[in-house]
Structure 1
Amino acid sequence: MIDRRKFLVTSSLCLGALSGALPLLAGSAKAQQQPAPPAAPPAAPPAAPAFSFDDMVERMRQSAQQGYQETVIGLPDKFAQLDYDQHRAIRFRSDRAIWRNDDLGYEVQAFHPGGLYTKPVQIFEIDGPVLREMHFTGADFEYREPLVAADYEAIDLPGVAGFRMHYPLNRPDYRDELIAFLGSSYFRALGKGSIYGLSARGLAIDTAAGRPEEFPRFTRFFIERPQPGQNIIRVYAEMESERVTGAYSFRITPGINTEVEVDARIFLRDSVERLGIAPLTSMYLYGENDKLGFDDYRPEVHDSDGLLILQQSGERQWRPLVNPRNLALSFFTAENPKGFGMLQRDRDFASYQDMEAHYERRPSLWIEPLDDWGRGHIMLAEIPSQKEIHDNIVAFWIPDTRAEAGSEYRFRYRMYWGREPEPGTDLAQVLHTRAGHGGTAASDYDDALRKFVVEFKGGPLTGVGTDAALEARLWVQNASVQNPVLQQVESGTWRYIFDLLREDAGRPSEMTLSLALNGKPVTETWMYQWNQTV
């Protein structure tokens, strides 16, 4: 489980295992922005070859064939020893941003190393045939109290913790933060009008697999300098860890739903028990279906309220999230899925009542495979949490093929970050999932029962009257159903209510539910796992 206050854990930086040397640099990006004094021209160095993603892929393939060697770029002690609050007191100076005065639309700002981020990364600019390092110093940052600025500003930084890119996403006269890469292989992006919430990762290794999780790390980034008027920008990253190397390409297009097209080339040094592709990480503390033990004025607290899966058949499966008492794992079988994602469907401020966090503005994230991914599972891990600073929800794709040493993988997919990135549908969608004690609401409680109320709205349900041949299709495992009722709430909205009696209290109860009209499904499929004890 990830502590959002500390943001993200980092893993080791590995540069020494590369089989090919990085092409000769043509100076730092910041230095290129300053006019140089006249001088006699030195002898011309050999021309630096242009950056090639194919070359990066081959370097990382060769690196995977060698033993892992951790190479750490050292930090000055005064940076390495920063505590959390001291590190938070450091801010990048926006007037020092890369490309700020170049009329490119984009600009790049860095995250300061130190504190939790003691293993810096390197960032390079691709400018046509020229490759140059984006070099930063203490002068690029503000050092606020309790730090003494004079102690830091003259120090040359050996690298940075990560970076963020800004772009005029919401209005043309202001460059909003668009995407940030910080910590291991984590990154977050925004669509128009949204604020940061859930995160993505390049790769997950042995998450909730009964052994320590390994965190592969982006060690070097290469950012392609955009042309004036170009809204697409490309970023490339090298990945290293004890058992994995990787080469990643990101094609980023800002918008109402910002698109990030990913081309991931993955090479295994050693076998992996659970290889997680396109991992999503979010926070769910409680909601309308799951508020046991939280005495809080806010009705709901979460960055995402459900997992949506779109099967190859067209079936849409909606799984509301929960904050379980114990670790809960769910595996959803799929073959060549059309997509999956962690969504924040509830966009009503009244559902959250939080003027600072504004959970109604947190982005959803949809993953759309661009190739056939074959057979596998989408895994959902729900980790118990008592604090909203923890990212306790993880979801990713697991291929059926065994991840053995020497294996190579290529996964291409498109990510949509924004308010409503899920694909459209003619089916009615799940509107609400509510739960409470079983039995009669105001009088006869039954602690052995749990009541569930599921509402569907829209699509073919619009205009359906109470005399229509509408039926509920409920399947349960490890439970029996009591007191089922199908009701029309209002035009286009229908509610199914039932009590559940779990048979074996030591195992969770699984459920699926959909509505059918004249024998044909007219709603997406609601899925749920009940593993709580009142």
Structure 2
Amino acid sequence: MSVKSLSSDAGLSRRSVLATLSGSVAAVALARTAWAQDVDPTVDAPAVSTPVPEVMPEPVAEPIGPQPFSFDWLDARMSEAAQSDYQAPVAAAEVITDLDYDDYRKIQFNPLRARWRDEGVLFQVHAFHPGWLYKDTVTVHEVVDGMQVPMAFSTDDFLYYEDLAARVSPHVALPGVAGFRLNSPLNRADKFDELVAFVGASYFRALARDSSYGLSARGLAINTGLSGEEEFPRFTEFWLERPAVGQDTVVFYAALESPSCTGAYRFVIRPGEETVIDVTAKLHFRRDVEQLGVAALTSMFLFDEKNSDAFDDYRPQVHDSNALMVVRRDGDVLWRPLNNPPRLASSYLSEPNLKSFGLIQRDRAFEDYQDAGAHYQDRPSVLIEPQGDWGPGAIRLVEIPSDLEGNDNIVSFWVPSEKPKAGETREYVYRLRWGALGTDRDGDRAWIVNTLAGQGGTSGVSGAKASLRKFVIDFDGGLMAGLPADAEMEPVVTLSGGKIQHIALSKIENTTRWRLVIDVDGGNERLVELVAHVAGFGRKLTETWIYQWVRT
């Protein structure tokens, strides 16, 4: 493993960093409103009153006849599209003009109009209404027996509350939708719950059993966290295969467009205690790309025990993910706790022995967060398992300063070493696992329970150097848990700058936990990277802890 770190002041405040480098962050944060569009089917929609509507009724367009569809057909179509310059989407006529945040919350999809509701299958399709932030619409098709037909939507498919009821006429065809959601009996056999939602650029979220929405995935990231402008590829069309009765997986396809590339995507989703999404992405490049981000994840980390003093908040932790986790093929686990840094920070983990990587929410108790509304303990972890040979590359982690939990300020993705060239075609196949993942409680190696940090030196003694920092790592489980307090083990600690002042390993009394304490003098270093694990009895006994100390 090799680790490279970058950080930058660039004269930017937290607010300006978020504004300039996280258009994706804003898109995801605001998209949470769209993903919440749902309604109790027992509640009657408000009556439509008589004033003249903003849009006069138009007949719903007659669908064209069925046309053949296959993934090969879609891939060939996107390959051909890559030979032409990118065409920005043309703004469609809005059914309701000047929608704002509050207006958009008054629109909900009518579950009684869900597609496939009357087919007796285990999945149903809901749509997101266009407007507000979602003026660029997408087209949805249904595929049955290899034949595609448009899945048309109209104002009849939505419920409009309060004053919006008077501003919309029935039977008005929509020019497209903002995105779609699939529901399935995820938690109970008699109730269709939200399973996955695609809305905004190439973002999507999924749920596992007993989880709540948290981090997001992206179809593709281009030039994220670089000094130039980030590019946001977007899914423009979807093809949903109608599942057979009793089929517990659903398959659909997507066309991706951006100025730099096109893509044909295939998704196979299997819901359950872990929801699994198998992704095949075939990319065709219009032009050279400086940085390609494959299997990108976007999350939020505001604070936990190691930086909670920066926030006047009754909650001990606020985050969608604890850490970036990398699993090697030999079973070794790298655990990189997330930070909310004082300035933009970035890490590259070059790992040739990669089995999986992802953003993990390891703390699973309500007491860890004390938030009765957000349910952070139920936010899913996501592990990405590359299929086949992705070639050399690195996992990049970008951490953006943030003052608000509504801002998703964490991005991770795979960066291939070889930059894509114009005219090139690439294929990436991978599996996304969503759920309460990331802790092997039956394994031989102890896992990392906590990372704590504070002023270095001896507690309760004044005069400690400002450059001294104390890091505390707690381990539990594995073979180490049953060892006596006097067992001979060796902490193995390295750092990229500064000096180690003190290392101590001890067992926490009346528990199975062990605590590793490291005091580091950062000197004049602006950034210090630390790596640590515990070894003994001829083997590695713990996960590998990796930490980036970004100094103010």
Normalising by structure 1, what TM-score? Answer: 0.90
The CA RMSD over aligned residues, in Å, is 2.1
Q: What do the CA deviations read for 1:55-113 (whole angstroms, capped 9, x no partner)? A: 1111111111111122425122x535211211121110111110112211211000000
The residue matched to 2:342 in structure 1 has which SS?
coil
Q: Mean Cα displacement is larger for which, 294-303 or 430-439?
A: 430-439
The residue type paired with residue 30 of structure 2 is K
2:451 corresponds to: 433
1:338 corresponds to: 355
Instruction: Give the superposition deviation at 1:290.
Output: 2.1
2:544 corresponds to: 525
The residue type paired with residue 80 of structure 2 is Q
Q: Residue 221 of structure 1 is aligned with which of 238, 241, 245?
A: 238
Q: Residue 500 of structure 1 is aligned with which of 497, 520, 539?
A: 520
Gaps of 5+ in 2: 1-21, 35-58
Q: Mean Cα displacement is larger for which, 84-93 or 195-204?
A: 84-93
Q: Mean Cα displacement is larger for which, 123-132 or 159-168?
A: 123-132
Task: Work out whether residues 30 and 98 of structure 1, in 8 Å CA contact, stay in contact via their aligned partners in 2.
Answer: no
In structure 2, C-alpha distance between the alignment counterparts of 1:312 and 1:270, rounded to whole Å: 34
In structure 2, C-alpha distance between the alignment counterparts of 1:224 and 1:409, rounded to whole Å: 25
The residue matched to 2:74 in structure 1 has which SS?
helix
2:211 corresponds to: 194
Instruction: Give the superposition deviation at 1:48.
Output: 4.3
- Shift of the 113–332 alpha-carbon distance from structure 1 to 2, 3 Å rule, reads same
1:514 corresponds to: 533
Instruction: Give the superposition deviation at 1:176.
Output: 0.3
Instruction: Give the superposition deviation at 1:408.
Output: 1.3
The residue type paired with residue 271 of structure 1 is D
- Counterparts of residues 70-109 of structure 1 (less than 5 Å): 70-72=88-90, 74-76=92-94, 79-109=96-126
The answer to whether structure 1 residue 489 and structure 2 residue 508 are counterparts is yes
Gaps of 5+ in 1: 11-27, 33-44
The residue type paired with residue 87 of structure 2 is Q
The residue matched to 2:272 in structure 1 has which SS?
coil
Instruction: Give the superposition deviation at 1:375.
Output: 1.0
Task: Work out whether residues 138 and 152 of structure 1, in 8 Å CA contact, stay in contact via their aligned partners in 2.
Answer: yes
Q: Residue 52 of structure 1 is aligned with which of 61, 67, 70?
A: 70
In structure 2, C-alpha distance between the alignment counterparts of 1:188 and 1:130, rounded to whole Å: 28
1:402 corresponds to: 419
1:13 corresponds to: none
- Shift of the 419–86 alpha-carbon distance from structure 1 to 2, 3 Å rule, reads same
- Shift of the 421–473 alpha-carbon distance from structure 1 to 2, 3 Å rule, reads closer
Q: Residue 113 of structure 1 is aligned with which of 126, 130, 141?
A: 130
In structure 1, C-alpha distance between the alignment counterparts of 2:413 and 2:448, rounded to whole Å: 22
The answer to whether structure 1 residue 309 and structure 2 residue 329 are counterparts is no
Higher relative contact order (CA 8 A, sep 6+): 2
Q: Residue 255 of structure 1 is aligned with which of 272, 282, 301?
A: 272
2:14 corresponds to: none
The answer to whether structure 1 residue 177 and structure 2 residue 201 are counterparts is no
- Shift of the 288–146 alpha-carbon distance from structure 1 to 2, 3 Å rule, reads farther
Q: Percent same amino acid among aligned pairs?
A: 44
1:442 corresponds to: 460
In structure 1, C-alpha distance between the alignment counterparts of 2:60 and 2:548, rounded to whole Å: 52
Instruction: Give the superposition deviation at 1:5.
Output: 4.2
Task: Work out whether residues 92 and 175 of structure 2, in 8 Å CA contact, stay in contact via their aligned partners in 1.
Answer: yes
Q: Residue 263 of structure 2 is aligned with which of 246, 249, 264?
A: 246
In structure 2, C-alpha distance between the alignment counterparts of 1:109 and 1:524, rounded to whole Å: 42
Q: What do the CA deviations read for 1:322-372 (whole angstroms, capped 9, x no partner)? A: 000100000000125111010000001111000000100000000001112
In structure 1, C-alpha distance between the alignment counterparts of 2:215 and 2:323, rounded to whole Å: 12
Q: Residue 471 of structure 1 is aligned with which of 472, 490, 508?
A: 490
In structure 2, C-alpha distance between the alignment counterparts of 1:29 and 1:102, rounded to whole Å: 22
The residue matched to 2:80 in structure 1 has which SS?
helix
Task: Work out whether residues 234 and 252 of structure 1, in 8 Å CA contact, stay in contact via their aligned partners in 2.
Answer: yes
Task: Work out whether residues 50 and 128 of structure 1, in 8 Å CA contact, stay in contact via their aligned partners in 2.
Answer: no
Between the two proteins, the alignment pairs up a number of residues equal to 501
2:54 corresponds to: none
Instruction: Give the superposition deviation at 1:314.
Output: 3.3
Instruction: Give the superposition deviation at 1:406.
Output: 1.4
The residue matched to 2:454 in structure 1 has which SS?
strand
2:474 corresponds to: 455
1:61 corresponds to: 79
Instruction: Give the superposition deviation at 1:148.
Output: 3.2
Q: Residue 237 of structure 1 is aligned with which of 254, 266, 271?
A: 254
2:52 corresponds to: none
The residue matched to 1:151 in structure 2 has which SS?
coil
Q: Residue 6 of structure 1 is aligned with which of 16, 26, 30?
A: 30
1:37 corresponds to: none
In structure 1, C-alpha distance between the alignment counterparts of 2:223 and 2:33, rounded to whole Å: 15
The residue type paired with residue 307 of structure 1 is L
Instruction: Give the superposition deviation at 1:522.
Output: 1.1
The residue matched to 1:147 in structure 2 has which SS?
helix
Normalising by structure 2, what TM-score? Answer: 0.87
Task: Work out whether residues 298 and 354 of structure 1, in 8 Å CA contact, stay in contact via their aligned partners in 2.
Answer: yes
- Shift of the 56–489 alpha-carbon distance from structure 1 to 2, 3 Å rule, reads same
- Shift of the 378–49 alpha-carbon distance from structure 1 to 2, 3 Å rule, reads same
Q: Residue 480 of structure 1 is aligned with which of 479, 499, 519?
A: 499
The residue type paired with residue 473 of structure 2 is V
The residue type paired with residue 445 of structure 2 is L
Instruction: Give the superposition deviation at 1:489.
Output: 1.0
Task: Work out whether residues 366 and 377 of structure 2, in 8 Å CA contact, stay in contact via their aligned partners in 1.
Answer: yes
Q: Mean Cα displacement is larger for which, 461-470 or 99-108?
A: 461-470
In structure 2, C-alpha distance between the alignment counterparts of 1:395 and 1:290, rounded to whole Å: 21
Q: Mean Cα displacement is larger for which, 401-410 or 145-154?
A: 145-154
Task: Work out whether residues 9 and 116 of structure 1, in 8 Å CA contact, stay in contact via their aligned partners in 2.
Answer: no
2:50 corresponds to: none
In structure 1, C-alpha distance between the alignment counterparts of 2:477 and 2:369, rounded to whole Å: 24
Q: Mean Cα displacement is larger for which, 58-67 or 253-262?
A: 58-67
2:48 corresponds to: none
Q: What do the CA deviations read for 1:110-163 (whole angstroms, capped 9, x no partner)? A: 000000000110000001143111111111111112423453434210100000
Q: Mean Cα displacement is larger for which, 245-254 or 461-470?
A: 461-470
- Shift of the 30–349 alpha-carbon distance from structure 1 to 2, 3 Å rule, reads farther
